[in-house]
Structures are given as structure tokens and as C-alpha cells.
A and B are shown apart, each in its own frame.
Chain A
Amino acid sequence: MYLKLALRNIRRSVRDYAIYFITLLFGVAVFYAFNSIGSQQILFDMESSASASVFESTTQLLGMFSVVVACVLGFLILYANQFLIRRRKREFGTYLVLGMTPGHVSRIVLYETVLVGLISLAVGLICGVLLSQALSFFTAALFGTTMSNYQFVFSPDALVVTLACFAAIYVVVALFNTFTVSRCKLIDLIRAGERNERAGVRNPWACLVVFVAAIAVLAYAYQQLIANGLVMLDQPEFVRATIAMLVGSLMFFWSLAGFAIAVLTRLRGVYLRKLNLFTVRQIASKVNTAFLSLWAVCVLLFFSITVFSSGMGFVEVFVGGVEKANPYSATLSAGVWYGPDGTTGSSAGERERRAEMEADAPDRLALAEEYDWDMAAALEAGAPELWAETIGAWAQVSMWSLPDMTYDPIIDAAETVASPEAMRIDDLGKVRDTAVAVMSLSDFNAARTLQGQPAVNLEPGTCGLVNNMEIVNALAEAVAKAAPTITVADQELTVAGPIYDTQLEDNAMAATALIFVVPDEAVEALGAEGLIPTTQTLNVMYADNGKTAAENDTALGDIVAATQPSDMGGFEQGRSGAGNAYANLLWPVTRIITAHEMTDQSAGMRLMITYLALYIGFIFLVSTAAILAIQQLSQASDSAPRYRILSKLGCDAGMIYRSLLIQVLVYFLVPLALAVCHAACAIGVLSDSMFDAIGVNTFTPIMMAAGLTIVIYGGYMLVTYLAARGIAKTALTEG
């Protein structure tokens, strides 16, 4: 019998439940779809292990954020439920009067919760499975491939996670509901409808003061952000700005209604026109009682807009320059000597480097000297046929560290023409203590030629400067302007000429920083002093052999493996690690980076960040819109008596609907407007400090964020208005 009652209740209050139900549905669908991304990899031809790991890490990351999302959704569901319960107090009171026990009433509510939960879970999962199919096409687009072998993807893992998560949420909701209902006193339930709205009247002068203060605090927050161009989350300025923004927004919502009324009552022409004064008071009373949730909504909106618009920007920061940063088919590098602490540079002292290598890895040194430090020759000797088939062209770059000179005097010279702040010296770490890196002109020109750039010349007595690392640009420009002198093997060379932005190896990003190009004789003189190169890189271009990049990558690995004796661990063995894992191999190859791998990784990064931004952005947007919708609908039904009074006073339905529309619009748009202001400031700062410098176009992601917001937020706004209108219409015809 109670189940029947619960069923009937749901059917009767479909309108009340509609928004709640739709939101649950969205939540379940999106939750499943994003958790199922891992299963999509069967759709794609995973050519390299890198691509496969992309799916793994994306799934892991989304799974991590799913915890956050589950918390947000859980809170939302709980909140919506409490709202629905509170609205039905009178009904529960009637049940109690009719002789049901609180336990019976709780059971009805429990049945209702479980029923709505089950239905939404089932429908949501179906939507989620469909959505995940759509997402796999999106994935294909992000990878820049098309799916040749599409098949229906279903992820049991995601299903289990979704079921478990929402089951847990519903259990908590059911407990809360039961608790709320069983704790209610009959008198409160029966009198629930008679309560006069008393809350929400504030001292106008306090509001005025707080509002002005709120604007000031927000202005301070913006100023802090803009002045410091912050991107580092742990800087005190950033923390201050964040706190100021949060506090300022809270003050804004606390005082907004009081301030607006103080201003509007003085604009008689507007205030004393038709239902305006009623509309203003309606909004004001709601804003005043719900200022906390409006604040939370604003913060979440800000977060979702910012995440969505800048997430795409960050993708570009991380992977946008991937083609420019990987001009060669592959780079094989030999970290000739990694210091005891795993870092290159002056830790061992350049003059002792050879002696230490001789002590630690004499066979490697012998091999290097046998081939006269020519990596290509060593590799070709290891697998001559494969080498000839795979490698079309190559250029080796040997990097030398000056034994007697660090960057310290160079930075001192730069500081005569620019301020340390402008050059971001503080961000550069221990650069002052690092030995100056030089390379020969012929190595430089070989690298340039390999990637299709014209060769360059050096005037006698000068050296060139190579830099393409964004963060060092200002310093490099100052160095070029100050034109200091460096001493290489007793030769005095003055920095001259343009700064070259040549990428000297394949890498995740443009990472050539303050390297000096010196005449070949200078480098030869360093070798004559008994020094050995610090690092060597062999950049190769694959031959036009009709094989795919992935196949050539494999061949390259085989060449290296053939060269590295297996008793040294072999190349493959160390391949899974990065960088220092090969420290014991030293020469000829400690690390391989291929352009194909980097492109795959960047696509994976793009996938990961884009999905994360979509996921978080969507869930937050839906949650905030749902909270506002529920509040507006409850306000509409609480206001039914007011609309009846208005009707008796002679308002026609049109006037009342207009007032409702304005109420819904203002209530939805005010937090959005403030969030957009915050987001504009944050994105503007990010653009100035990061995106613009790298030439990232933020217009498209911002437009996409706007589109998403308009569709979801606008959709909720429209549904809310129509439902509120329905409530008012019922109130008017019943009255």
C-alpha cells in the first residue's frame, strides 16, 4: 500500500520532480560516459605503447576527478531532496493526522527516493552508454584519426563504478530523508504553509557599506591578479587574490539585494511601475535568504567557465608547440656523464669528467673514443643494414660545458640593461651556478640544415646565441643587448648577432636555453684540453622507406639495441623509464625521443585535458543550474498566495508571468554575470602571462565555453520559467 502511495505521489508531482530527475539523469549519464573512456581504446589501432598509456592515464585522472564529481552530485541530490521534502511537510502532516506513524511516512519517502533513483539510474545509464559512443567519435577527432573499425563500446567497469557511486548517494539521501521526516513535529508539518517570510530584510545602510566594500575587495583581487600575472598556484599573491575574490563575492551576494533596493526605490519612474516593485522585492527576499548558495553557485560557475575555457588553452601550452619542438624524426641522446646526483653540469667539474667516466664506465669511454664520439658511426656499425634502410639523414650536436665559467657574469652583464624581475631571474633557479654551455658552429649549422633552416656564419671574435625557451627569452634578449664576452679555451668571444630559436633536439617543448655557438676551433681547443662533451644528441630523419613512423621507431630501437651490448642491460630494458634510468649506459645512447611518440603523447594530453575540462565544466554547470532551478521553483510555489493576491488586485496573468520571467532571469543571470567577470579576469591574466606569449588562441575555447553555458544554463532557465509559470497558472485558476 505504501509503495502504491509512493508511486502515485511521484506521478502526481512529476512537475516538481522534473528538474530533479533531469539533473540526476545528466549526472548518471555523464558520470558513466567519462568513466568509460578507457574502454574506447579497443576502437583505435594502438600503434605504440604511448597511445595505450594515454588511455590509461586519462582513465585514471578522470577516475580521480570522478570522486570530486560524485561528491558534487551527492551534495546536489541531497540538497534537491531536502527541498522537495520541505515543500511537502503539509502532506506528511496529513498522513500523520490520518494515523500513520512517522515510520510509515518515512517508508513512503524512502520508496519514492528509491523509485526515482532507480528510474533515473536506468534511464541515465542508457543515455550514458549512448553518450559514450558519441564521445568515441570525439576522441577520434582529437587524435586526428578516423575510426575504421567502429563497434559498440560498453564498459562494465564504468557501469559498476556508476552503480556503486549512485547507490551510495541514494543510501545517504534515503537516510537523510528518513531522519528529516521522522524528526518533524506534527504541529510544524500542519502549520508549514502559514509561516510568514520574515528572513531577508537587512539594514539598508549596512548593505550599502558592505556592497561598496565588496566591490573594493573584488577590485583588489582583480588588481592583485592582473598586476602579478599569476600562474603559480602557491604564490602568496595568488592565495590573497583567491581569498579576496571569495570573500568579495560573498559580501556581494549578502548585500546585493539591499543595495539594489536602496538604489531602485530612488528611481521612482522604474520602481513604481507596474509590478516592478513586487518583482524587485521577490528577487530581493530570495537573494537575501539564499545568498550563501548563490555565492557557491557563482564560485562553481566561475570554476567551470575558467576550467573549460583555459583547459583548452593549457592543452596548447603543453602540446601546442609539439611540432615546432620536434623538428626531427627522432633524437638519440647520450648523457655522457650524469653527475652523482643525477644532474648534468658542473657538479663533477668539467676537467674531472673524463677521469670519472674512465673510472666508472671505461668500456663506454673506450667505445666513444673508438668512434671519435661519433654516435651515428657507432650505431651504423651495430646494425648497418637496418641503419641504411631506416635513417635518411642525421646531424650530431655535441654540447660542451666551459670548465672555468658559469652564467653568473653573463647574468650580471644582462642586469646592466634589464631588471632581474623583467628577466624573471628568480624563476630560473640555479642558472647562475651552471657552467656555460657551448656548441660548435658546424654542429649548429648541421642541425639547422637538417630541419631545413639556412646555415649561419660567425664574425671573427664573436659567438652566437641560441634560445627558444619561453621563460628565458627576456634574459636572452638582455644578454644579446649587453653583448658580454665569454672565454672559450683562452679565446675571447663577444656575443653578437640575432638570437637563434633553433630547436636542437626533439623534446616535449621548445627547450634550448642560452647556448652559445662558437667557432669550431674553440671547441676543438676544449677537446685538446682533455675535456669531453657534456651531452650529445643525434638528430635523425627517417629515410623515405614506405614504412610508418611507428615502424621506423621500432627499427630505431632495434638499431640501438644491436649497438648496446646486452650485458650492459640492453636498450630495451631501460626503455620504460626516462632519462636517468640509462645513466649506466652513457654512450652512445641513453635516451630516445621520437617525434611520433611526442605527437601521440600530446594527443593524449589533449584528450585528457579536454575531457577533464568538459567533465568538470559540464557537471558544475548542470549542478549550479539545477540548484538555481530548484530554488526558483520552490519560490514560485511558496509565492502562490502572493500571485493570488495580485490577481485579486487586478493583475492579469500576463503581468504576473512577466514578473516571473524577470525573477527567473535575474536570479540565474546575476551569479553568472559575476562568475563571468571573475572568469574574464582570470582568463585575461592567463592569456597575458601564458597564452599570448605562445600564440595560443583562446577565442575558440571561450566561444565553446559560452556555447555550452548558453545551452545548459539557458536550457535550465527556460525549463524553470515554464515550470514556474505552470505553478503560477495553477495558483491563479485555483484562487
Chain B
Amino acid sequence: MAEVYTEPTPSAFGANPTDPGTPLPLSADDRSALDGLAAAFSRDAYAPGASSAAAGRVAQGAGASAAASHGVHAAAPRPAGSPILSVRSIEKVFGSRDSVTHALAGVSFDVAAGEFVGIMGPSGSGKTTLLNCVSTIDTVTSGHIIVGGRDITGMSRRQLAKFRRDDLGFIFQDSNLLDTLTGFENISLALTIKGEPARSIPGKVNAMAARLGVDGVLSKYPYQMSGGQKQRVAAARAMVCDPKLILADEPTGALDSRAATVMLEIMEMMNTQMGATIMMVTHDAFAASYTNRVLFIKDGAVFNELRRGDESRDAFFARIMEVVSFLGGEAGHVS
């Protein structure tokens, strides 16, 4: 029932003219949504399960000049049910009466099950605030965030804690492993907090560690691990509970390029083979090129969106770089 449409993909920034304009897997709603810039990125724009081989072609976010939209019906089946994550025009306001800062000024987007979404944006764009709101670490000023069909913006502290342990998995920049616990215990903790029966824990932990290639460091403490190993253990901790959504905050930010590549491949594997839905905040275009879709946030609003489709990673990377350099260039002009 999913519909796909193509777009000529004229670059909003004039830097992306070679986009083949192949069909895009998007919901019907999105066709009209993509007609206008603001609408394009405030609506339910999502690709179908990235694990499916029929991952859509790139959805090129239109710039101010790109208003054209093309509705094409996709062959790829849309995953059953509503999106895993629906962000509906959320706002986050900091400060007092005198000096108000809109960290988020009406952000809306959806993430479908099985998607690997990247959130990019310059410093101060609000991407971390967005992640904090989605992860329920911070609260929104207005708007709604719906995860798995439940609105989390109205939940009590207790419910939020339960929601975090049952539905979310976290991967942080600095791994945030507990330094007093071994790798095994760090991964187990996610399960014990959930109240998982003790007898089933070692099996799950060992299996997950083996898949992520950290079974060799399970008995080590974080200070005995390399940065990459720590991040993969953190990934295992996030995955072991089989959460609805994994939130990754600059997971490669503290890694050297080799470790970063391994980590990204692991995350890609988590997404394609293990069916994890991942939302990753990053400022690194290389990291973002591993995703299916990249949302650009600027000044508290979704500014642009890129879809990878079946494009090669290098090509996707090139397109991301164009947006990034545009954002950077624009910032340069302004300043």
C-alpha cells in the first residue's frame, strides 16, 4: 500500500544536479508534503524498512528553489502498522520571558520500523535537543512525540523510565559504560533493569556480544577496552533488550577513523540484518552516509532531507557533503 514517487531532485543548493531522480519510496502523504519546503520536512516522510532490499531511492530535500514533486508509486511494501516514531511539530523553548531561545521550532518527522535515520546539523542547530526530547531525557515545550503508538510527552517520570527501559536503546558518544562493571555486566544491566529472568540473561548477552564482535571483551572492564570496543559493547547493551528504537548520539564522535568505520558497519548490520530501527545524531557526513535517510536540522527546524535509496554509499556521501558544505557556506555568508 505504500506509494513511491520520484523527484527530479534539483538540488536546493544547486550542487546536486546529477541526481538521477529515480523513484522514491514515500507514503502518499509525502507527495504533497514535498511540494513545499516547509511542508516537505514537517510531514511523515519515511522510507520503508531499510532491511528490505527494495530500499527506496534518495529523497532529495528541496531547497527554496526546488518545489517540484513527483508522485511515483513504489513497489516496495511499506512495513505494517504506523511508524515507530512520529515527531509532531515539537517546540522547545529555553530561557525566561526576557530572552527566549527556540531550540526547536516546530519539528516534525516520522521514522518507520527498520529505518536508519541520520540527523545532521551544525552546532547549536537543535539536533541534540531533539534527541534528548525523543529519548525523554528532556521534555518538549509543545508538540507530541509518539513512539510505538504511545504519546510520550504526557508521561509521568515513572512511566518515562519504564518507557526508556522497554522501548529505547541508547548509544552515546562516550559509550557511557559504567566503569565499575565488566562488559558482560554492562550489557546485562539493560536486561536486569527490565526485570528479565536471570537464567535467560547470560544466553542473550553472549549471543548479542558475539554478533557485535565483542564476545572477547565481556570479562574486561571499560578501561581495559579500546574506544571501538566500548562503543560496540554500548551498542550491544542498546540492542540486547530488542528496543523499538535505538537512539545514537555521535556514536563515532570519539573514535579514530578505523574504529569509526567498524562501528558504522556494525550499526548498519544491526539495521539490515537484525532489523533495528536507529536514529543517529551526527555531524560527520561519513557516518551519516551509512544511513538510509538524513534529516538536516538548522535553527531548530528541519531544513532538508536526503534519502539514500539504492544509491552507493559514496554517492550518498557526496550528496550529504554538498548539503553540509552549503550549510557551512551559508553560515559563512551570514557571519
Contact = CB atoms under 8 A, between A and B. Distances in A.
Interface of A: 196-198, 200-201, 268-278, 281-282, 284-285, 642, 645-655, 735
B333 interface: no
B150 interface: no
A274 B198 contact: no
A652 B161 contact: yes
29 contacts: A197-B179, A268-B198, A268-B202, A269-B198, A272-B188, A273-B192, A273-B198, A274-B193, A275-B192, A278-B178, A281-B181, A284-B180, A285-B180, A642-B180, A646-B193, A647-B137, A648-B135, A648-B170, A649-B164, A649-B165, A649-B193, A650-B161, A650-B165, A651-B193, A652-B157, A652-B158, A652-B161, A654-B158, A655-B193
Given A196-B222, A650-B164, A650-B168, A275 B178 contact: no
B223 interface: yes
A647 B161 contact: yes
Contacts of B192: 272-277
Interface in B173-199: 176, 178-181, 185, 188-196, 198-199
B201 interface: yes
Contacts of A284: 180
Nearest to B205: A272
A273 to B, nearest CB: 6
A-B pairs with the 7 shortest C-beta distances?
A650-B165, A650-B164, A652-B161, A272-B198, A281-B180, A268-B198, A285-B180
A733 B324 CA distance: 35
B13 interface: no
Which of A198, A278, A282, A650 has the most chain B CB atoms inside 10 A of its CB? A650
The contact size tier of chain B is: 35 or more
A282 B221 CA distance: 13
B166 to A, nearest CB: 7
Interface string B67-90: 000000000000000000000000
Contacts of A652: 157-158, 161-162
Contact of B201 (A268, A285, A654): A268
Contacts of A282: 180
Interface in B198-245: 198-199, 201-202, 221-223, 237
Contacts of A651: 161, 165, 193
Query: Which DSSP category, helix, strand, loop or mixed, fits chain B's interface?
Result: helix
B317 interface: no
B201 A650 contact: no
Contacts of A272: 188, 191-192, 196, 198, 201-202
Nearest to B182: A281
Contacts of B158: 652, 654
Contact of A649 (B180, B190, B223): B190
B326 interface: no
B180 A197 contact: yes
Contacts of B188: 272, 277
A640 to B, nearest CB: 13
Contacts of B189: 275, 277-278, 646, 649
Given A277-B192, A648-B137, A651-B193, 8 more contacts: A272-B188, A272-B191, A277-B181, A278-B180, A278-B181, A284-B180, A650-B168, A652-B157
Given A197-B179, A198-B223, A201-B221, A650 B194 contact: yes
Given A196-B222, A198-B223, A648 B176 contact: yes
Nearest to A284: B180
Interface of B: 135, 137, 157-158, 161-166, 168, 170, 172, 176, 178-181, 185, 188-196, 198-199, 201-202, 221-223, 237
A274 B179 CA distance: 18
Q: Residue among B135, B172, B180, B199 with the most chain A CB within 10 A?
A: B180
A667 B195 CA distance: 26
A281 B165 CA distance: 21
Best-buried of A271, A275, A281, A649 by chain B (most CB within 10 Å): A649
Nearest to A645: B176
A196 B179 contact: yes
B188 to A, nearest CB: 6
Given A274-B192, A649-B170, A642 B161 contact: no
Contacts of B201: 268, 272
B152 to A, nearest CB: 13
A200 B172 CA distance: 26
A120 B196 CA distance: 51
B193, B199, B237: most-surrounded residue (chain A CB, <10 A): B193
Contacts of B172: 648
A163 to B, nearest CB: 45
Contacts of B162: 650, 652
Nearest to B138: A735
Looking at B137, B198, B199, B201, which has the most chain A CB atoms within 10 Å of its CB?
Answer: B198
B170 to A, nearest CB: 6
A602 B193 CA distance: 63
Contacts of A648: 135, 137, 164, 170, 172, 176
A652 B188 CA distance: 17
Contacts of B179: 196-197, 642
A654 B157 CA distance: 11
Contacts of A276: 192
A728 B201 CA distance: 28
Nearest to A655: B193
A270 B221 CA distance: 21
Nearest to B177: A645
Nearest to B135: A648
User: Among B157, B168, B179, B185, which residue has the most Cβ atoms of chain A within 10 A?
Assistant: B179
A430 B252 CA distance: 87
B220 to A, nearest CB: 10
A283 B6 CA distance: 60
A677 to B, nearest CB: 28
A690 to B, nearest CB: 47
A650 B193 contact: yes
A651 B46 CA distance: 31
Given A650-B166, A652-B157, A645 B178 contact: yes
Given A268-B202, A281-B180, A648-B176, A275 B164 contact: no
